[in-house]
Structure 1
Amino acid sequence: MNIELFRDYCIAKKGVTETFPFDEKTLVFKVMGKMFALCALERLPFQVNLKCNPDRAVTLREEHDGHIIPGYHMSKVHWNTLLLDQLPPDLITELIDHSYDLVISKFTKKLRTEYDALS
């Protein structure tokens, strides 16, 4: 999966915005203002950070040694860094969905109501 397909998949999700809150090289995707994906635009091979269940994060790192690593500049417990050109596209989309769903599951009642109201 290339960076454009990654971006297109993330931005198409409900309630998602993209920003550059850290610098002009790190694209951040948020759902209702909560971060679920980061993308290093100038790092080769292309790398993305995705939130992940801690137990699953360890398993993924073991199964995809060197291609999924602890989150770069993130919590090593809750984030993984993926090398996009080294992983199957269906795994990447599954992990984007997992990250997005984890963030949504932690919404406050008020935020959940706002999210549910989106079309």
Structure 2
Amino acid sequence: MNGRELQKCAALRARELPATTLEFPFGPDVDVYKVRGKMFMFLTVVDDEPLVVLKASPSDGLALREAHPDITPGYHMDKKHWISLHPGGGLGPDMVEELVTESYRLVVAGLPREQRPVEPHAFGRGQR
């Protein structure tokens, strides 16, 4: 996928997720997707390259970075808990959608139970 396609795929999936909002706390050029006020994804452009930045568990983030050259530590974020997706062809739409969903689940799991829009451990597994 090229950069525009990568960001469009991620944004479309994010908009499908319950209680998601799109905000611009870092200015009009950074799309920030949140659930109940907590960020789970942002879209930005760095050196003319569109990026998708997502939350990931430390073990998943490490494994993903080792397996995919189009995945690097999270741009401007905690490198242990965030990853950046780069355009280049190695990441297909299904994988991008799953990574967005997993980022959302991780953030939802950290919310107080009464604020969770879904059960994070069951949501989105094996379904769309």
TM-score bracket for this pair, using the shorter chain length = 0.7 to 0.9
Tell me if structure 2 keeps the 8 A contact 1:45–1:85: no
1:70/1:34 CA distance change after superposition, 3 Å: same
Tell me the TM-score normalised to structure 1 length.
0.86
Alignment equivalent of 1:78, drawn from 72, 77, 81: 81
Structure 1 ranges of 4+ moved more than 4 A? none
**CA offsets 1:38-60 (integer angstroms, 9 cap, x no match):** 00157643211000000110010
In structure 2, the residue matched to 1:7 is 11
**What is the identity percentage for the equivalent residue pairs of Structure 1 and Structure 2?**
35
In structure 1, C-alpha distance between the alignment counterparts of 2:111 and 2:65, rounded to whole Å: 27
How large is the RMSD of aligned CA atoms in angstroms? 1.7
Match of 1:39 among 34, 40, 43: 43
* Paired residues of 1:46 and 1:85 also in contact (CA < 8 A): no
Taking the aligned partners of 2:75 and 2:9, their CA distance within structure 1 comes to: 21
Distance 1:84 1:15 in 2: 27
Count of matched residue pairs: 113
Q: Aligned ranges for residues 22-101 of structure 1 at < 5 Å?
A: 22-41=26-45, 44-65=48-69, 67-86=70-89, 87-101=91-105
Higher helix share: 1
Structure 1 portions without partners, runs of 5+: none
Superposition deviation, residue 78 in structure 1? 0.2
